[in-house]
Amino acid sequence: MTAILKRCENESLWGRFCNWITSTENRLYIRWFGVLVIPNLLTSTSVFIIAFIAAPPVYIDGIRELVSGSLLYGNNIISGAIIHTSTTIGLHFYLIWEAASVDEWLYNGGPSYELLVLHFLLGVACYMGRKWELSFRLGMRPWIAVAYLAHVTATTVVFLIYPIGQGSFSDGMPLGISGTFNFMIAFQAEHNILIHSFHMLGVAGAFGGSLFSAMHGSLVTSSLIRETTENESANEGYRFGQEEET
């Protein structure tokens, strides 16, 4: 008589964590991209709130006049903004030990703009990866992630590519309502962007493609679990009023 004995090993803590992270049964889907999304977006949100409330004025354009954007320095929700770093910093990561004093560090903008923008861009890019990952795990096509790519691209261009092209983060967009409009007016004055044919094509192509990808993905292909053949009805398995997808 042969007896087969199976040894039951307790799953490790890391294994249970991996299964929980990658499970599609959770109320909130996390996955590995989500592990990167959470700290990056929490960091950028925290920096935005602190800087919007209490950041000191910044010397930005070489006019010897400080520009303030925080609530504690006389701004309101409309006029408040996260002011970018000084033109003297350029594209450097302006760390605290690179300044002669803390006052000089804050005078030139401190860490807030670069810290916020770079963590935010990494966070939204990972969130796009999370969307693709969830679609892949559920057997869906990636049109929702493709639609989101247009907005990630536009954000990256405004906050990273354009400042790199101009040679300084001081040419980036201030993070606020009035700062956004000021950036748009200055950008139009310097580059006449609204008349540029490539800009017109880019807006129509990127955001038009995003719209159609979102509509196509959410209404058609992303809801398909299995395509029907010519021998069965497309309504096979559907029950009127059902809450789950077919």
Residue 222 DSSP symbol: G
Please name which of 203, 54, 45, 214 lies closest in space to residue 128, comparing C-alpha atoms: 214
pLDDT tens digits, one per residue of 113-129: 888 999 999 999 999 99
Q: Is 38 contained in some domain?
A: yes
Phi, psi of 213 (to 5 degrees): -65, -40
Residue 170 has pLDDT above 60, yes or no: yes
What is the mean predicted confidence (pLDDT) over 196-215? 82
Distant-in-sequence, close-in-space partners of 42: CB < 8 Å, separation ≥ 6: none
- Residue 24, in any domain of the structure: no
236 within some domain: no
Phi-psi region of 156 (alpha: psi -120 to 50; beta: other; left: phi over 0): alpha
Segment among 62-76, 184-198, 226-240 with least mean pLDDT: 226-240
Q: Which of 174, 160, 40, 182 is CA-nearest to residue 109?
A: 174
SS3 30: coil
84: left (phi over 0), alpha (psi -120 to 50) or beta: beta
pLDDT reading at 214 higher than 70:
yes
β partners of residue 81: 176
CATH code assigned at 188: 1.20.85.10
Regarding predicted confidence, which is higher, 62 or 4? 62
How many C-beta neighbours within 10 Å does residue 12 have?
9
**Do the domain assignments include residue 166?**
yes
User: Is residue 193 situated within a structural domain?
Assistant: yes
Q: Provide the pLDDT for residue 45.
A: 93
As for how many domains the chain has, the answer is 1
pLDDT for residue 1: 44
Strongest mean pLDDT among 13-17, 98-102, 174-178 = 174-178
DSSP H or E run through 133: helix 112-137
Instruction: Output the average pLDDT for the chain.
Output: 80
Q: Is residue 123 part of a domain?
A: yes
**Burial track 71-84 (b if 16+ CB lie within 10 A, e otherwise):** eeeebeeeebbbbb
In a domain, 229, yes or no: no
In the block, residue with structure tokens 């070489």: 62
For residue 100, pLDDT beyond 70: yes
Query: Taking CA 46 as the corner, what is the angle to CA 152 and CA 133, rounded to the nearest 5 degrees?
Result: 40
Does 74 have pLDDT greater than 60? Answer: yes
Q: What does the alpha-carbon distance between residue 31 and residue 22 come to, in Å, rounded to a whole number? A: 5
Distances (CA, A) of 69 to 85, 93, 169, 240: 12, 21, 16, 55
Q: In the predicted model, what is the mean pLDDT of residues 103-108?
A: 82
The answer as to whether 77 is a domain residue is: yes
Look up the domain containing 63 and give its range: 29-223
Residue 175 pairs in a beta bridge with: 82
